[in-house]
Amino acid sequence: MTTTGSSALERLSRLPVANIGDAMERLNVCHSAVRSTWEGARLAGPALTVLTRPGDNLFIHRAIEAVQPGQVIVVAGGADESRALIGELMAGRAKAARCAGFVIDGAVRDVAVIRALGVPVFARAVTPAGPYKNGPGALDVPVAIGGVVVSPGDYVVGDDDGVAVVTPSTAEEVATKAEAKHAQENAARATIAEALGHPFPTG
Ligand SMILES: O=C([O-])CC(=O)C(=O)O
Ligand SMILES: [Mg+2]
């Protein structure tokens, strides 16, 4: 990753996902079904992509073995909600590898402990039903998450509102536009706070 790229990623990591989506003409925002599993979770990092058979997590185990510090494991699980693709043990191993978190187009389990671990996990559903571990699957291929294409290395940013995907070649421009939008909104927040008679909440 270049210095330019990492500074754009850092800037994106500090911005609300809503502003980032607006800066991309409201494109490249995942379907609302792919949501944070705990309030306040936030992630930003380059994607390590996983394609897996719905309900099967063999290749997510391989991703946790391969993940580099700061990467987000992004799993195309076919939008299946019937089997949890990760839980507390896999989240804990990923944290130990300094993975930035998970975005899963599928289900997860053990969410109370995942929250206590502080691992940001975005998913379509929560279920106690366990996964199969047979494959097939693939790592580092383009995938679709909530209707958005994620290529390996794309920047993935998530907060309480959802997930946006930013191609690194556009990240500087998107960060600049999103910062401008955020500054413009700050001015509006100040005016509204005055009318409310108390500071505008920061969420
Ligand atoms: O059984 C699994 O593969 C997922 C799970 O619950 C865990 O990682 O804790
Ligand atoms: Mg478990």
- Give me the pLDDT at residue 203, please: 76
For 28, half-sphere exposure in the C-beta direction (CA atoms, 13 angstrom radius) is 23
Closest residue by Cα to atom 1, ligand 1, is: 130
- Give me the pLDDT at residue 6, please: 57
Residue 115 has pLDDT above 80, yes or no: yes
3-state secondary structure (DSSP) of residue 158 = strand
- Give me the pLDDT at residue 110, please: 98
Average pLDDT over residues 110-118: 98
* Distances in whole angstroms, Cα of residue 140 to Cα of each of 7, 107, 115, 158, 194: 23, 21, 27, 20, 49
Residue 53 has pLDDT above 50, yes or no: yes
Give the pLDDT confidence of 30-47 residue by residue, as tens digits: 999 999 999 999 999 999
Q: What's the start-to-end Cα distance of the chain, in Å?
A: 31
- Give me the pLDDT at residue 202, please: 87
Contact 121, 104 (CB under 8 A): yes
| Residue 163: strand pairing partners | 158
Residue 56 has pLDDT above 70, yes or no: yes
Q: What is the rounded CA–CA span in Å between residue 144 and residue 44? A: 18
Q: Return mean pLDDT, the chain.
A: 96
Is any atom of ligand 1 closer than 6 Å to the C-beta of 90? yes
Residue 7 has pLDDT above 80, yes or no: yes
CB atoms within 10 A of CB 203: 9
| Fold category of 28-166 in CATH | Glucose Oxidase; domain 1 (3.50.30)
For 50, half-sphere exposure in the C-beta direction (CA atoms, 13 angstrom radius) is 30
Closest residue by Cα to atom 6, ligand 1, is: 87
Residue 2 has pLDDT above 50, yes or no: no
Give the pLDDT confidence of 124-181 residue by residue, as tens digits: 999 999 999 999 999 999 999 999 999 999 999 999 999 999 999 999 999 999 999 9
Is any atom of ligand 1 closer than 6 Å to the C-beta of 174? no
Could you tell me the pTM of the whole model? 0.96
Average pLDDT over residues 190-197: 97
Going from the Cα of 164 to the center of ligand 1, the distance in angstroms, rounded, reads 26
